[in-house]
Amino acid sequence: MPASRLHLVRHGEVHNPHQVLYGRLPDYHLSDAGRGMAQAAARHVLSLGRPVTELRCSPLERTQESAEPFTELFGLTAVLDERVIEPTNVFEGTRMRRALRDPRNWRHLRRPSLPSWGEPYVAVAERIRSAMDERWDAAADGDIVFVSHQAPIWITHLSVAGLPLRHDPRTRRCSLSSVTSFERVGDVWREVDYAEPASAGIDLGAV
């Protein structure tokens, strides 16, 4: 039997005292509040009363740490999956407002619809959908949880809805530790639920 539902869970709040865009940089871990948020996301999925049979996450520290409550509640070992990692971004390690004031960086903004500052949106959509399709077909009957990042989750939302992938990152509906849920009927994905089980956190490092 294929899986029953697939949940894309965003990681919790990250300890980021210098307020940089951290992207794929190493050593960015959850804050104390972020650990509580990750627990809230896992408890929300548990409250749905649905069996979870597979847990996968991006290899970055913040997603691995956000997967830990799922391991505790469902007894699953998180499998690292590069396909659900944060997109690349030339502004990694910078404070965004300061970087945008530097004329040397303006060339990276020439085509925001791609976006020109990092991995193309279409490439992100393709790798996430590839992971979703593969695991849907391979997993046992039950739900799948992917712990990922804001941009991949929102781009997947747009792709599944048949909407243009170009967007203003400030308009994303994908809060910290949110849960976006999908089902596949035949070869067609559809979004079936969105939840924000955690309290609002500080979100300064999203790509």
Say if CB 55 and CB 7 are below 8 A apart: no
Q: CA-CA distance, 82 to 58, in Å (whole number)?
A: 6
Its CATH architecture, for the domain 5-195, is 3-Layer(aba) Sandwich (3.40)
Say if CB 3 and CB 136 are below 8 A apart: yes
Strand order in 143-148's β-sheet? 79-80, 52-57, 143-148, 5-10, 179-185, 188-195
Radius of gyration of the chain (CA): 17
Please report, for residues 66, 100, 137, 140, the alpha-carbon distance to residue 143 in angstroms, rounded to integers and kept in the order given. Answer: 17, 41, 12, 8
Please report, for residues 43, 55, 78, 82, the alpha-carbon distance to residue 74 in angstroms, rounded to integers and kept in the order given. Answer: 10, 9, 11, 22
Q: Is the pTM of this model over 0.85?
A: yes
CA triple 172-94-89, angle to 5 deg: 55
Say if CB 20 and CB 95 are below 8 A apart: yes
Task: Give the CA count within 13 Å in the CB-facing half-sphere of 109.
Answer: 11
What does the pLDDT profile of the chain (207 residues) look like in tens digits? Answer: 567 999 999 999 999 998 899 999 999 999 999 999 999 999 999 999 999 999 999 999 999 999 999 999 999 999 999 999 999 988 888 887 777 777 777 677 788 888 978 899 999 999 999 999 999 999 878 999 999 999 999 999 999 999 999 998 889 999 999 999 999 999 999 999 999 999 776 666 565
